[in-house]
Amino acid sequence: MSTTDHTSDEKDERAVTVAHDDVVLEVRDLSVTFPSEDGPLHAVRDVSYVVRRGEALGIVGESGSGKSVTSMAIMGLLPPNAKVSGSASVLGEEIVGLTDAQISKVRGNRIAMIFQDPLTSLNPVYTVGYQIAEAVLAHRKVTKQAAMDRALELLEIVGIPSPQQRLKQYPHELSGGMRQRVVIAIAMANEPDVIIADEPTTALDVTVQAQVLEALDRARQETGAALVLITHDLGVVAGQVERVGVMYGGRMVEMGPVEEVFYRPRMPYALGLLGSLPRMDEDRSDRLTPIMGTPPALLAMPKGCAFSPRCPMAKEICHQEEPLLLATDEHGGRVPVPVGDTTAHTAACHFSDELGESAPDDLFRTSGPQETEGDEPPAAAPKERGGGEAIVSVTNLVKNFPIHSKGLLRRRIGEVQAVSGISLDLRERETLALVGESGCGKSTTARLILQLIKQSSGEVHYMGKPLHTLSARQMRPLRRDLQLVFQDPFASLDPRMTVADIIAEPMRIHGQRGTDARKRVKDLLSLVGLNAEHSSRYPHEFSGGQRQRIGVARALALNPKVLILDEPVSALDVSIQAGVINLLEDLQEELGLSYLFVSHDLSVVRHIADRVAVMYLGKIVETGTTEQMFRSPAHPYTQALISAIPFPDPVKERTRERIIVTGDVPSPSDPPSGCRFRTRCPKFAGQLSEAERVRCVEEPPELMDRGTGHPDACHYSQVVELI
How far apart are CB 63 and other proteins at their closest, in Å?
17
Q: Which is nearer to other proteins, 192 or 323 (CB)?
A: 192
**CB–CB of 447/645 below 8 Å?**
no
- Contact between 138 and other proteins by CB under 8 A: the answer reads yes
**CB–CB of 280/647 below 8 Å?**
yes
Among 3, 37, 125, 381, binds other proteins (CB under 8 A): 125
Looking only at residues 235 through 274 of this chain, which bind other proteins when binding is defined by CB under 8 A?
none
How far apart are CB 128 and other proteins at their closest, in Å?
11
Distance CA 637, CA 682 (A): 9
- Contact between 107 and other proteins by CB under 8 A: the answer reads yes
**CB–CB of 604/170 below 8 Å?**
no
- Contact between 407 and other proteins by CB under 8 A: the answer reads yes
Distance CA 620, CA 432 (A): 13
**CB–CB of 95/111 below 8 Å?**
yes
CB atoms within 10 A of CB 609: 25
Q: Which is nearer to other proteins, 199 or 653 (CB)?
A: 199
Q: Which is nearer to other proteins, 173 or 361 (CB)?
A: 173
Among 73, 88, 178, 183, binds other proteins (CB under 8 A): 183
Q: Which region among 121-129, 515-523, 589-597, 715-723 touches other proteins (by CB under 8 A)?
A: 121-129
**With contacts defined by CB under 8 A, how many residues of the chain interact with other proteins?**
34
**CB–CB of 114/51 below 8 Å?**
no
Q: What is the SS3 assignment for 607?
A: helix
- Contact between 381 and other proteins by CB under 8 A: the answer reads no
Distance CA 17, CA 340 (A): 9
Among 122, 258, 467, 620, binds other proteins (CB under 8 A): 122
How far apart are CB 498 and other proteins at their closest, in Å?
31
**CB–CB of 276/288 below 8 Å?**
yes
Closest CA to 678 of 659, 686, 212, 7: 686
**CB–CB of 118/176 below 8 Å?**
yes
- Contact between 600 and other proteins by CB under 8 A: the answer reads no
How far apart are CB 608 and other proteins at their closest, in Å?
33
- Contact between 100 and other proteins by CB under 8 A: the answer reads yes
Among 15, 27, 59, 135, binds other proteins (CB under 8 A): 135
Q: What is the SS3 assignment for 425?
A: strand
Among 106, 271, 550, 620, binds other proteins (CB under 8 A): 106
- Contact between 123 and other proteins by CB under 8 A: the answer reads yes
- Contact between 124 and other proteins by CB under 8 A: the answer reads yes
How far apart are CB 107 and other proteins at their closest, in Å?
4
Interhelix angle 176-188/206-223, rounded to 10 degrees, is 10
- Contact between 104 and other proteins by CB under 8 A: the answer reads yes
Among 170, 401, 490, 538, binds other proteins (CB under 8 A): 170
Q: Which region among 181-189, 329-337, 427-435, 547-555 touches other proteins (by CB under 8 A)?
A: 181-189
Distance CA 621, CA 618 (A): 9
Q: Which is nearer to other proteins, 133 or 644 (CB)?
A: 133
Spell out the SS3 assignment of 144-177.
HHHHHHHHHHHHHHCCCCCHHHHCCCCHHHCCHH
Closest CA to 230 of 73, 405, 84: 73
> What is the H or E stretch that residue 608 is in?
helix 602-608
What radius of gyration do the chain's Cα atoms show? 27
- Contact between 155 and other proteins by CB under 8 A: the answer reads no
Looking only at residues 40 through 59 of this chain, which bind other proteins when binding is defined by CB under 8 A?
none
CB atoms within 10 A of CB 145: 9
- Contact between 186 and other proteins by CB under 8 A: the answer reads yes
Closest CA to 502 of 555, 457, 458, 454: 555
- Contact between 175 and other proteins by CB under 8 A: the answer reads no
- Contact between 720 and other proteins by CB under 8 A: the answer reads no
Binding mask 524-563 for other proteins (x = CB under 8 A): ----------------------------------------
Using CA atoms, how far residue 617 sits from 12, 434, 565, in Å, is 58, 13, 20
Pairing of strands 56-60, 226-231: parallel
Site residues for other proteins per CB under 8 A: 75, 77, 100-101, 104-109, 112-113, 115, 117, 120-125, 134-135, 138-139, 170, 172-173, 183, 186, 189-190, 406-408
